[in-house]
Chain A
């Protein structure tokens, strides 16, 4: 779809990925403007429901990113996150939720280029997939409800 601009949300940790994305900016690296960043102290804080709620808000793709294993500012937050992601990926894939729209990565504070590459890559992948129409949307008065059978 040529003129479809995917809406992406990125849940990122404050100490690594957010700083890394900051570096992307200060390095004047241009990258797709489709992502909205949500900063959390640590990937360990990311509740899997946040991802589903993003889809429920009409988002087409989600990025989750944090410090490399071993580098977590809180020592082990990203290790716990990784386990949580392993389980939740299996569950949502089993249920038929599109895993191609959920991307995980480790981006450190020094990896400004990697962040740009990541966002560009995910944007193009999700652009090809199109809007995430099948996912039920939250009823907040703006979006129409998807009726139950």
Chain B
């Protein structure tokens, strides 16, 4: 934490960046909140602990934040992945953000995409054993049980779109749900509308989602929508070798194909 504050002070005093986007203490001990430190004297607000979960990369899409000038961004590995995936999708220019990775009391400056790639190559890849078990447990339920579970979960969705706002890869100026010629996804928070919204969200992120979990954290109803993203990430990796956000190589699973992709399910 001290190293982070020191680094922030140095960066701001030196004029390397105009703002350090990081985490400060939140409304209760279990929460952190985003903070936009522009003055070296305010660097003491910055914290770093297990409450720092929100993917701050989502703020890079916000005009008021862009207006602050070149940012440094305190980034967990998942956040770093979303920076690279944004780069792949031409949403972020190289060296537009100074990423700060914090681990073991040290702060690593990652000024370029190449640096982020190199750093991420040394981080653990893939789902943890716990995450895999969670998916397997659900997948092992019968069809009826799975449907009962997801109908009940998605029945609570209020279509507030906090999941969309929290995701750095949901950057569309006009989301598909906001198009009404035609109204592709029903607006009402009824069973079909909720199902279709959540399926669309998961599918539009398929092969792109970096598994930061901010969507589920953001959901006011605590619905485990991150599981939908995760099962698709597992499939994209298993079937297509897709691992978004680890490099700037353009390799979107759904924009590519192999003549011999598995097709036992096609008659």
Contact = CB atoms under 8 A, between A and B. Distances in A.
Asked if the two chains touch in their complex, CB atoms less than 8 Å apart, one says: yes
Given A136-B195, A148-B194, A94 B189 contact: no
A139 B148 CA distance: 21
Interface in B173-209: 184-186, 188-192, 194-196, 199-200, 202-203, 206-207
Contacts of B147: 95-97, 134
Highest count of chain A CB atoms <10 Å: which of B200, B232, B262, B265? B265
Highest count of chain A CB atoms <10 Å: which of B186, B195, B200, B253? B195
A87 B236 contact: yes
A23 B155 CA distance: 45
B145 interface: yes
A104 B145 CA distance: 25
B235 interface: yes
A92 B256 CA distance: 22
B249 interface: no
B143 A96 contact: yes
B150 A138 contact: no
Given A96-B147, A103-B267, A146-B191, A138 B259 contact: no
B152 interface: yes
A79 B263 CA distance: 11
Contacts of A138: 186, 192
Q: Is the interface of B mostly helix, strand, loop or mixed?
A: helix
A80 B257 CA distance: 6
Contacts of A94: 135, 138-139, 146, 227-228, 231
Highest count of chain B CB atoms <10 Å: which of A83, A91, A147? A83
B262 A86 contact: yes
Contact of A87 (B146, B151, B232): B232
Interface string B251-266: 0011111110111011
B240 interface: yes
B254 A90 contact: no
Contacts of B228: 91, 94-95
Interface string A18-58: 00000000000000000000000000000011001100100
Given A91-B202, A94-B231, A56 B192 contact: yes
A48 B203 contact: yes
A86 B231 CA distance: 12
Interface of B: 135, 138-139, 143-152, 155-156, 184-186, 188-192, 194-196, 199-200, 202-203, 206-207, 227-228, 231-232, 235-236, 239-240, 253-259, 261-263, 265-267
Report, nearest first, the 3 A-B pairs whose CB atoms are least far apart. A96-B147, A96-B146, A136-B191
Given A97-B147, A139-B190, 16 more contacts: A49-B199, A52-B196, A53-B196, A56-B196, A85-B265, A85-B266, A86-B239, A86-B262, A91-B202, A91-B203, A94-B228, A96-B148, A104-B265, A134-B147, A146-B192, A148-B194
10 contacts: A49-B200, A56-B196, A79-B258, A83-B253, A83-B257, A90-B232, A91-B202, A95-B146, A96-B151, A147-B191
